[in-house]
């Protein structure tokens, strides 16, 4: 289909001619993502790498430990010299010196000898076990063994933790603090990670005042900018904010063409006289989906412009949040190498009141958790942002359902 032929390309003052299903919109995103999933690799300091996605397998160039080392404080010994020792049959060993972490004992241990050793210190040549202090009693120049140790007892062997050539972390892993500790111990300073998708947030609307200004007269203050910046950051994208853009075709197009991997346009995506964004996208790029059978967020759109993935999000703040979560967030997470699933914890709860929907439409119903119950909040009111600040989470009513009766057990996604 030629881009400009989208049936909903110009629905200004007419209303949507048809709606895509949520499923179709998700399918379009998933099938389009491979074009956009080549963000490239950046090396970041291990200090900043927690939570980043590893771009390739990391292989160790060294053995850890790099030398046999003591795993207990005590005495390095030849295990055979302790054979037969008990608290009632103490066997004497001559203490030849000491081995400390970073400061090895120089020399070789012979029969009947011991070296005082601390955890992490290199085992002396000739020693094959550590007699812990608990099994030893010092007696001048000598130490008495009070029990037996077997060969290799309390000794960390060369490469026991990590061997040279071992893959220690696989591409796609979300780096945890302990991974960074391991990488550092292998000599790495940086990790190769997938670059964060840069997400340009374009807020449109003649009526909007920027963050920090009190609403005045008929003007309202932008709610979507800070909300979208936070959502993008949550999904590990790098939000880039543009100044608020008026409902002006050239200004909107210029903002949509700024440097980015993903463009989020808030406002102007519906059927109002000043809703220019869908026609702009279909004229200059591709409007792949516009108008989705869901509530709220039905005026959502998506497509491409000059190699950027574009999401048209309704201006109503609740619709904007919902449309971001259904579509844009999924794409941003996937581009960054992360799970497409929602980053919300799930909880099962019983509805305290019925939730009504229409077959053919997906509903996003805000609920409060009261004990083991989920109490639906007013389902309408996509403009009422406090409905989502008061809610603890939301319930999705799928397209094939007319809703849920009171007492039905539902899955709640917790904000």
Contact positions vs Mg ion (CB under 5 A)? 205, 267-268, 315
CB of residue 302 vs ligand AMP: minimum separation in angstroms? 15
- Rounded to whole angstroms, the Cα distance separating 303 from 311 reads 7
Q: Are 164 and 62 in contact (CB under 8 A)?
A: yes
Q: Are 244 and 204 in contact (CB under 8 A)?
A: yes
Q: Which is nearer to Mg ion, 10 or 261 (CB)?
A: 10
Q: Which is nearer to Mg ion, 268 or 301 (CB)?
A: 268
Q: Measuring CA to CA, which residue among 100, 135, 133, 106 is closest to residue 118?
A: 100
Q: Burial, 373: exposed, middle or buried (Cβ in 10 Å; 0-12, 13-18, 19+)? A: middle
Q: Which is nearer to ligand AMP, 296 or 336 (CB)?
A: 296
CB of residue 244 vs ligand AMP: minimum separation in angstroms? 8
The residue within the footprint of ligand AMP, chosen from 239, 315, 337, 393 (CB under 6 A), is 315
**Residue 295 contacts ligand AMP per CB under 6 A:** no
Query: β-strands 308-313, 262-266: how paired?
Result: parallel
**Residue 297 contacts ligand AMP per CB under 6 A:** no
Q: Which is nearer to Mg ion, 274 or 375 (CB)?
A: 274
The residue within the footprint of ligand AMP, chosen from 92, 272, 343, 403 (CB under 6 A), is 272
Q: Are 341 and 386 in contact (CB under 8 A)?
A: no
For residue 245, what is the DSSP state?
B
Q: How many CB atoms lie within 10 A of CB 207?
A: 17
- Rounded to whole angstroms, the Cα distance separating 237 from 162 reads 33
The residue within the footprint of ligand AMP, chosen from 8, 63, 85, 224 (CB under 6 A), is 224
User: Which residues inside 353-392 make contact with ligand AMP, applying CB under 6 A?
Assistant: 383
CB of residue 217 vs Mg ion: minimum separation in angstroms? 17
**Residue 222 contacts ligand AMP per CB under 6 A:** yes
Residue 254 Cα to chain centre, angstroms: 31
Q: Residue 322 in 3-state DSSP? A: helix
CB of residue 11 vs ligand AMP: minimum separation in angstroms? 12
Q: Which is nearer to ligand AMP, 315 or 376 (CB)?
A: 315
**Residue 316 contacts ligand AMP per CB under 6 A:** yes
CB of residue 323 vs ligand AMP: minimum separation in angstroms? 10
**Residue 270 contacts ligand AMP per CB under 6 A:** yes
- Which residue bears the tokens 């409060």? 368
Q: Residue 204 corresponds to which tokens in the numbers above?
A: 């449109």
Q: Are 203 and 242 in contact (CB under 8 A)?
A: yes
Q: Name the site residues for ligand AMP (rule: CB under 6 A).
A: 203, 205, 207-208, 220, 222-224, 266-270, 272, 275, 314-317, 383
């Amino acid at each position: 289909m030629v881009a400009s032929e989208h049936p909903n390309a110009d629905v200004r003052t007419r209303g949507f001619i048809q709606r895509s299903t949520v499923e179709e919109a998700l399918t379009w995103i998933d099938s389009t993502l491979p074009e956009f999933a080549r963000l490239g690799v950046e090396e970041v300091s291990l200090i900043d790498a927690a939570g980043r996605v590893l771009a390739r397998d990391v292989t160790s160039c060294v053995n850890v430990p790099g030398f046999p080392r003591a795993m207990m404080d005590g005495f390095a010994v030849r295990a055979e010299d302790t054979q037969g020792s008990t608290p009632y049959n103490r066997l004497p060993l001559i203490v030849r010196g000491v081995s400390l972490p970073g400061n090895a004992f120089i020399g070789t241990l012979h029969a009947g000898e011991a070296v005082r050793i601390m955890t992490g210190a290199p085992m002396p040549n000739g020693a094959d076990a550590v007699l812990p202090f608990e099994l030893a009693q010092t007696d001048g120049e000598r130490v008495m063994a009070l029990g037996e140790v077997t060969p290799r007892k309390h000794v960390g062997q060369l490469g026991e933790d990590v061997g040279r050539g071992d893959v220690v972390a696989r591409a796609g892993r979300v780096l945890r603090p302990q991974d960074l500790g391991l990488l550092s111990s292998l000599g790495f300073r940086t990790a190769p990670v997938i670059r964060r998708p840069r997400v340009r947030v374009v807020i449109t609307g003649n009526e909007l005042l920027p963050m920090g200004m009190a609403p005045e007269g008929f003007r309202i203050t932008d709610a979507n900018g800070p909300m979208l910046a936070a959502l993008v950051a949550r999904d590990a994208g790098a939000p880039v904010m543009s100044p608020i853009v008026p409902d002006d075709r050239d200004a909107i197009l210029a903002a949509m063409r700024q440097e980015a991997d993903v463009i989020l346009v808030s406002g102007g995506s519906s059927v109002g006289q000043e809703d220019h964004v869908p026609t702009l996208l279909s004229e200059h790029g591709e409007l792949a989906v516009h108008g989705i059978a869901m509530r709220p967020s039905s005026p959502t759109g998506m497509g491409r412009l000059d190699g950027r993935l574009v999401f048209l999000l309704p201006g109503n703040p609740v619709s904007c949040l919902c449309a971001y979560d259904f579509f844009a967030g999924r794409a941003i997470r996937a581009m960054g190498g992360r799970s497409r699933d929602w980053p919300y914890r799930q909880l099962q709860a019983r509805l305290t009141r019925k939730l009504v929907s229409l077959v053919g439409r997906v509903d996003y119903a805000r609920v409060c958790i009261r004990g083991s119950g989920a109490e639906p909040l007013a389902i309408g009111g996509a403009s009422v942002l406090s409905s989502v600040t008061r809610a603890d989470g939301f319930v999705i009513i799928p397209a094939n359902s007319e809703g849920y009766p009171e007492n039905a057990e539902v899955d709640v996604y917790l904000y």
